[in-house]
Structures are given as structure tokens and as C-alpha cells.
Structure 1
Amino acid sequence: MPLNSENLLAFFGVETADLPRVTIDRALSVPAVLCAVVFLSRTLATVPLHAYRDTKEGPIKLAGKTGITLHEAPNDLMGSFKFRQYFWQCVFTGGRGLAWIERTGSNIEGLWPFDPRKVTIRRRGFDQVYICDGKEYPAADVIDVPFMLKEDQVSHRGPIQMAGKAIQLAIAMNDYGSNFFAGGGVPPLALSGPLPQGDAALRRASADVDRAIKFAKANKSPVLPIPAGHELKPVGFDPAKGQMTEARLFQIQEIARAYQIPPAFLQDLSRGTFANVEQQDLHLVKHLIDQWASAFEDELNLKLFGRFKNGRYVEHNLNGLQRGDFKSRIDGIARAIQTAQMTPNEARALENRPRHPNAAANELLVQGATVVLGSQSTTETTPETPPADDGETHDDET
């Protein structure tokens, strides 16, 4: 059989040179893609999300329907975690998260996620509408976070679509490995020697060899009978010699690049050390989670409160991702109290503990020895006046 591109692809489980279209479900069968989508969606769903209003005393949390909708339950069927996890799953698979804002007048009643596959987006001049199940929704009532917008500012690109070739190769290697070991680890074989003439005779000879291999496998026999003067030779590469293990590790790194996620969070610790994994943790929050959190905040602020939001805004608390172990957390809180960065009651609130009734718990405290430079007392101590000499001789000796 001549070695061409189709045969080479068939060796990896791909039947034709036209690689199959990668669907979301097929892509999620690749563990690295599944890990990236699940990890990012769950992480972003975990970050606390609150609505605030600016006041002269500082920001205060909104406690009405808006606060409950964002922080606790966006609608009657979903809690905040479930809603946001689904929303981000849509972003990191198909490439777009959509949700409708239910309003009663100026009051926000709920947020309802759309199935992006059922939504058509139309641009009419400077207006944009979202059509779902035959009903039109104005852009002002739809939360819309795309993975990447196209040039027309309407359609989008998704990570699975853009990384399709890398995912196809990962699928091909998964299929090849499954087929290889399902076949007892027997690679494709070529029968060499005097062969019968004609297509029908060659097919019969190939079928005879195939039956012999299956018979040996079924009977757990190490001996495989072949015609005299013939020889079986493997076609293709042994997985170890073909470095499929290294190639599959490389595909994890390729998928990590597509999502801009550090490889350690796709469970690839082949190059991991204690130091660089810790740095990847910082990189994750600073250069990935913070960016997507900002995109969600901007969209919520614009669509919930409008361009002129009158001091109201939505914000994630990314400190929830950096709480650390118990000792580090408590040491950091104690340091913040001692340096007048937070009050004891504010610190207790971080740990979900009740406020202390003592009024001093609402005051900023600082160590007593810490004073403004140059403000320390310069009064010198006056030495005691020695007793007057009365002219008498005092003998201390006995």
C-alpha cells in the first residue's frame, strides 16, 4: 500500500484527508479541553459578585432585588453558581455567553440564560437585536460576553473553533491509542512474500491473515501461523517509538495556549516545580481570571445600570481566590488590623463572623509605638538634687 497523506491520517484513526468538523461534544471528549472548560467556568462562578452604590462614607452593598439577583439567585430556577457556570461554559465552548435581563419598570427581577445556538443577532444601523424563538430582545436587555468578536462586531469566534486543528489531532491520537490497545497492541501489518495475483486473491489472503491473528488473540496463543515463505512486518510506528506520549503532552500545552491557561491547571506537571506552580497560580488570577471578570463586570454595569449608572456598579471580589491557608489568612488579617487598613468588624466579616457589639470594633486601630516621625517627646529628665551638706561626718562603716 503506498504511503500517502490519506494512509498516514488513517494510521491515526482518520479515514480521509478531510478532517471531520470538531463539535463541542467531540471536543469535550479530549480531557485537556474538558479540564479547561470545567476549571475556568467553575472558578469564575465561585468568585463572589456583588452590586454596590457609592456614598460619602464609601461603597455599600445593594441589598434589594438587584443584590439578591447577582449574589444569590439570578432567577427562580438557578442559584448564582449554576447560572454563572452555565454562562461561562457557553463562552469557553461555543464562544459566547448570553442572558436576558427581566425587568419590571426600572427594577431588575432576574437574569435568564439563553442557549446561544438558538439566538440570531442582527445589526440595524447602531441598534442590535437578539432573536430567540421568534421574539426580539433589544441589546440593552441582553448580557453578551463573546470570546472574541469578528470584524463585523456581531458574529464571534470560539476557542474550540479556533483551536480546531489542535483538538482534531488530540482526538486522532486518542482514537489511535484506543484502537491500538483494543486490538491487543498489534500494529497494522504487511504480508510480504509471493502473493497471489488479482484483487480477489489478495483480499482472500488478507482475510486469512486477519482470521489467523484474531484466532491467536482469542486463544491467547503466542504462535501465529502464516504461509510458508511469507513474513509479517508492522506498518507504522510503535506508540513509544513514535513518541505519541510526548505528542499528547504537547497537545495539552497547545490547548492551554488556546485558553491562555497555565498548564499546571490542566493537570500537566511534567515541568512543574513548587516555585513555578505558585507563580502560575498568580499568573492565572492576574492575567486570566481578572480579565474575564472585568469583561463580565463591564457588561453587567452597562446593561443593568446604563452608561450613566448614578454611582451603582457591579464588582467581583477576587480576594476569594487568594485566601490561602488558615495561618496565612489570619496573619494577613491581623497585620491589616494593626496597620489601620481595616477595622476588627471588617476583618470578622471577611471570615463570615458576626459583628462584635463593642464600639471599638468599628474603629481603625494602630500600634501605640507607631507615631509620626519627629513627633516624639524631647523633654529631658531633670536629675534629682543631691541632699544638702549639714557639716556632720557620716560614718557608714560599722
Structure 2
Amino acid sequence: MHLHSPFIAHPVISWTEAGETRSARWRSESGVPAPKRVVIADDRMTADSAYRLACEGTAMLWRGDFQNARQLLQALARRVERKPGKPSKHPKPAASPTEAFHLHRMAQSQRARTLGMLLLPFEADYTIPLRRAPDVRQACNEAYGAGEEPFVASLRELLGLIGAHEWRKKGVPIPALGDRIHPYYGVFSPVRGEYVGLVAEAPLPSLELAFDIGTGTGVLAAVLAQRGVKRVVATDQDQRALSCARENLTRLGLAQQVEIMQADLFPAGKAPLVICNPPWLPARPSSPIEYAVYDPDSRMLLGFLNGLAAHLTPGGEGWLILSDLAEHLGLRPRAELLAAIDAAGLKVLGRIDVRPHHPKVSDDTDPLHAARAAELTSLWRLAAK
């Protein structure tokens, strides 16, 4: 998971400006490597010129008006999304779902690389020394921690920080709680409410104790506590998630019932209920933030399954909350999941399914539409054999 790295770990980038070589720290929370070539750009830069430079791998450090930089980024995005060439008379047959998934991720990665080539200067206190620049100090402090020295980061990353700050401020409504959860930057946001609803509705095997493995924002721990579970131990190994969960549970008035603990999967001991909502897709994350979505080699899923029996009290249940999207994309067959459950010394007591209702389900322009339209999210009730 993503841990806060010290500022000193950030590499230095250099460029020529006014006839002399200058340098600054490079900052990228999404793990993008520092650009090798940097040129100065300002309001005279055309979108076509900027797009050509970005495609060549040349980054542009902006010295013009901030709002003009935002408009230039939008123009770059339009060029990235424009389909080159004329439609073929003999289009290729539809790719398999797995090919569609990998092509989609490649396109996303290429888009991120190109749009990440427009850079901004930042002072040590996170002010941006450009005309009409907004005050982004709070958003940067929330994501980066205390500032230490001037640096350079991409405009695209900054917009992500600002968006995360807005989510954190206004929160995500959670009908099952009758309240809101406020996600931190880099912590998985519970915008897919259907999996929360499953945990709110499944029959509880006990009200004494529950473990919430990989708690993230703390939303599932909060649901269990609100349902009357007397004590919940919620674990995560990401510092941001731990801070986020503590703040959410305190705001909800549930901090006395829920203990937040740093751990890789399980805390010590056993419980009559152990729940886990691991990342749903067994693929390699391309940035630290993607660890909330992608679980390389199903590491967290298998870690949970293989350790579950040892952490259940007699008659206890493990709740695995998992979408079957990976099955529809050809990334992990159902037989593989069932074999992993069996190999871990577990049996399936039952399963509760729900159909997702997020906008992409009905978006037939989405390259993964067929898989998303067929997707089910399930709460698997597991027990030791």
C-alpha cells in the first residue's frame, strides 16, 4: 500500500531558462517518473505545439497564466481523445474482454503520460507563483504533508489533489449509515455503495466482535458498529487510510467501538466475524493509488482466504465482499476463486448478490461495457471446514 515517502526521495529535474540551467525537486504521488526533457512554456504556446512536445516525451514548465494552463490541458485532452485516421472499411473483430481490458489500460496510461507533461512550479508553502493561480495550500497539505522546499509537479496531478480535497470536504453519502464518509486523497472512496449495502443487510453471526481487514475509509467498520457490533478491530497498512478511518469514526461518534490498528491483513486473535473487501481486479497497479483497485496476483484476496480459518472462532463467519468483474474480463475464472476457498480450508455457507448501479453500467461507449453490464457484487459467507 502507499506509504508517505520522505521529500528527500523525490528526484531533481533540470531545464534551461534565461540562458542558465535551473533545477527543482520533482513530485508525483502517482509514481510518474521525472521527465527527462523540460522546456519553458507560456501563454504563447499553441495546443498543437504542446501536444507534439507531450507526445515526444518533452515536458513543459508553465510560466504563463494559470487559467490559460488549464485551458491548454483541456485542449490536450481533446487531442488525445480524437480518433486518428478514417474508420476502416474492414474493422477488426471485437477484442476478447481480456484484450479489451488491457487495451483500455494501455490507452489510460498513454493518456495520463501525455496529459502529465504540463508542469507547474510550487513554492515550499504550496503557493503557485503564476497569475490567477488558486490557493491550493490546503489540498496540497492534505495529500503531501508539510511542505519543505520548492518543487515541480504536473497540472494534472494538482487537479487530482483539488478534486480529492473537495471529496474530503463534502464527503460521500452512505445511505446505510444515514451519514457521510470523508475520504482522504489516495484512500479508496466508497462511491460504489452497493457493497456497503450488502454488509448493512447480511445477518450478523455475532454482536460481540468483528475484524475489518483493509478498512480504508472505515466505512464497513462504521456500518458494523452502527448495527450494534460491540467491538470492531479495523486494520490497514496505509498510514493515510488509518488517519482517514480514525477521523471518520470519530466524526460518526463510533470511535469507542472501533479500534484502528496498523497491520498487514489480520490483527492477533480470533473473532466470530471477519470481513474483507479486497481490490477486485488481479492486475498490476500502475501507480500507488491504484492499489485500491488492483490486487497483483490476487495477493490480498489469497492472504485473506489463507489466513481466515485461523482467525475465526468456532461457528464464526468470514465475509468476502467481491465483484465478479474479474471473471467477466477473463482475469480470474470462478473456478479459480472456488479452488482458493477450498484450498484455504473454507466452505461457502451462502452468498448475497447485488447488481451495481453506477453510471458505467449503462454507458455503452465504455470499452468494458459488456463486462460491467454483467457484473455482480457478492458477499460470500465463508466458514472453516
TM band (smaller chain): under 0.3
**Structure 1 or 2: larger helix share?**
1
TM normalised by structure 1 equals: 0.20
**Structure 1 or 2: larger strand share?**
2
RCO (CA 8 Å, sep 6+): is it higher in 1 or 2? 1
Larger Rg: 1
